[in-house]
Structure 1
Amino acid sequence: MDRVLHPLCQRDRAFMSEPLILERTDNVLWLCLNRPEKKNALTWSMYDGLREALEQSVVDDDTRAVCIFSTGDDFCAGSDVSSLGESPPAGQRRPGHRFLDTLMRYPKPVVACIRGYAFGVGATMLLHADLVYAAPDTQFCFPFVQLGLVPEAGSSLLLPRLAGQQRAAELLLLGERFDVSTAKDIGLVNDVIDAEELLGRARKALSRLTTQPPQALADTKRLMRADLDALGAHMDTEFEVFDRRKASAEFVRAQEAFLNKRKRTSDSTDGD
């Protein structure tokens, strides 16, 4: 798969320096994560950009569906570690919280194309996509507990529903990586597609979605997700606990251990 999955991203090279690339074509809003050197880890400004694009497209009748994908070898390695220690202004929700709430309530079909790392929010956001297509090299991880945090995006509620209580406990409490076959087995992924054909498979699904009666699609999606208010309240609780965990000594120790491990890995690689 090419460094840039969608050829429209190559029309204007000025776009290529932007961490988030937005395109609207053929009734599809394409959201491209473009920080390959950081494994597409999401910054606060990227969260805001994703949320604003989704909010604007809700009232755009020419947008019938959304596709989320990425440049580089990885879909998304989670939130940028530099943002974990930050806090929003008093009374405001975190940018990641606001984005995930918008994605959760988004009324139009959402398709995700993923490969490489889908860690943290790179995995939990998939619970709010309608169709997920993954390359064979995709790896998943919910690393929250080992970072001294708790799951977000409603994953502590949705994952047990999807995978069963014991399987979800294994994934959330142990926080170990798992492969694409496991993701498909638990229902997190619809299909596994060779990397070179991944976006083509998504385009095929999007072509069908954009020709379906739009209100029937929206009504069907709403009926399938009838408990959005309860899920939203659960997500709010997750982020309240998440923020309390960030203020704990346990989180500070876990973050230091993570950063030290990453530095050792980087130093080892530089010495090769």
Structure 2
Amino acid sequence: MSILVEDRARVRTLTLDRPEALNAFSEALYDATTEALLAAADDPDVAVVLLTGNGRAFSAGTDLREMQALTTDPNYQRGKHGFNGMIDALASFPKPLICAVNGIGLGAGATILGFADLTFMSSTARLKCPFTDLGVAPEAASSFLMPQLIGRQNATWLLMSSEWIDAEQAKEMGLVWRVCAPDELMAVAREHAEKLASKPISSLVAVKRTMTEPLRTAIADARERENACFRDMLGGPANREALAAFAEGRPADFTKLPAGA
């Protein structure tokens, strides 16, 4: 089982549970997370979803070993939903979604915060969008959602630099709402989740719909642009060098790539 599900006081807590892999998203975890979100959306007894990770990480993003297999083996078994299915489920999730970032959030472990309605973060957690380190394009509508959420210049640094962002920087940017001591994170996030969950579900859904509906077309357009760029760059010179460097345990060297790569 790669995701844990717990119900209490109309709050469904979903815990990413691949601690040995820093909760990196394998195809199986993408599928499990998607199914859990779809089930929560349809469950009339669930008012709020609280998403967190087990162990030292929130999520280390896409499993790079699996990414390498997907780029080199045309017969590699893909999941039922995969990354795009999970993002579909997040983009259409009708109820309040609260994220409790307990540890590192890397790649998809950071960009999914663009779909959170509230984000709480441990003071020891860090976030990173390593797109330029991997020689790929943004994902999960982050090219639209991050400028909306944190402003263009903050988004530029987050999406282009591949640098770590600590909890205080994330709060200053507006990427997270509250920073908590590590041992208080889940209690504080749950307290707020249960406060929302005490309200009428129909009203929570209506508030979220009226806030997010104007963004849906822009989110879909951003994802289409990102996916086209990602397809073009996946397996390209920069991405091959990044994945080879990861597999060989060395820093990537992009300076010797063909011009424009």
User: What TM-score, normalized by structure 2, do the two folds share?
Assistant: 0.88
> Does the 8 A contact of 2:34 with 2:81 survive in 1?
no
CA distance in 2 between counterparts of 1:219 and 1:163 reads 24
Cα drift, residue 19 of structure 1: 2.1
Cα drift, residue 125 of structure 1: 0.5
Cα drift, residue 93 of structure 1: 9.0
Residue aligned with 2:56, SS: coil
Q: Give a deviation string over 1:184-222, Cα, whole Å, max 9, x none.
A: 011111101111111111111111111112111111111
Cα drift, residue 240 of structure 1: 2.4
After the TM superposition, which residues 128-143 of structure 1 pair with which residues of structure 2 at under 5 Å, given as runs? 128-143=115-130
Cα drift, residue 162 of structure 1: 2.2
Q: Does 1:147 align with 2:134?
A: yes
Aligned equivalent of 1:201, options 188, 206, 219: 188
- 2:208 aligned partner: 221
Aligned residues: CA RMSD: 2.0
| One-letter amino acid matched to 1:129 | A
> Does the 8 A contact of 1:19 with 1:46 survive in 2?
yes
Cα drift, residue 58 of structure 1: 1.6
| One-letter amino acid matched to 2:55 | G
Q: Does 1:256 align with 2:256?
A: no
1:243–1:94 Cα change, 3 Å: farther
| One-letter amino acid matched to 2:135 | G
Residue aligned with 2:57, SS: coil
Aligned equivalent of 1:118, options 92, 105, 114: 105
Aligned length: 244
CA distance in 2 between counterparts of 1:135 and 1:229 reads 33
- 2:34 aligned partner: 51
CA distance in 2 between counterparts of 1:125 and 1:262 reads 28
| One-letter amino acid matched to 1:208 | K
Q: Does 1:232 align with 2:220?
A: yes
Q: Does 1:77 align with 2:60?
A: yes
CA distance in 1 between counterparts of 2:242 and 2:179 reads 34
CA distance in 1 between counterparts of 2:250 and 2:188 reads 35
- 1:66 aligned partner: 49
Q: Give a deviation string over 1:225-257, Cα, whole Å, max 9, x none.
A: 122132123113212221221131221112112
Q: Give a deviation string over 1:126-173, Cα, whole Å, max 9, x none.
A: 110111111111111010111011110111111122222222212211
Aligned equivalent of 2:22, options 24, 36, 39: 39
CA distance in 2 between counterparts of 1:42 and 1:262 reads 22
Residue aligned with 2:4, SS: strand
Q: Does 1:21 align with 2:4?
A: yes
Aligned equivalent of 1:161, options 148, 155, 172: 148
| One-letter amino acid matched to 1:217 | L
**Identity percentage of aligned residues:** 32
Which 5+ residue runs of structure 2 have no aligned equivalent? Answer: 252-261
- 2:91 aligned partner: 104
CA distance in 2 between counterparts of 1:93 and 1:49 reads 10
User: What TM-score, normalized by structure 1, do the two folds share?
Assistant: 0.84
CA distance in 1 between counterparts of 2:120 and 2:139 reads 22
> Does the 8 A contact of 1:101 with 1:232 survive in 2?
no
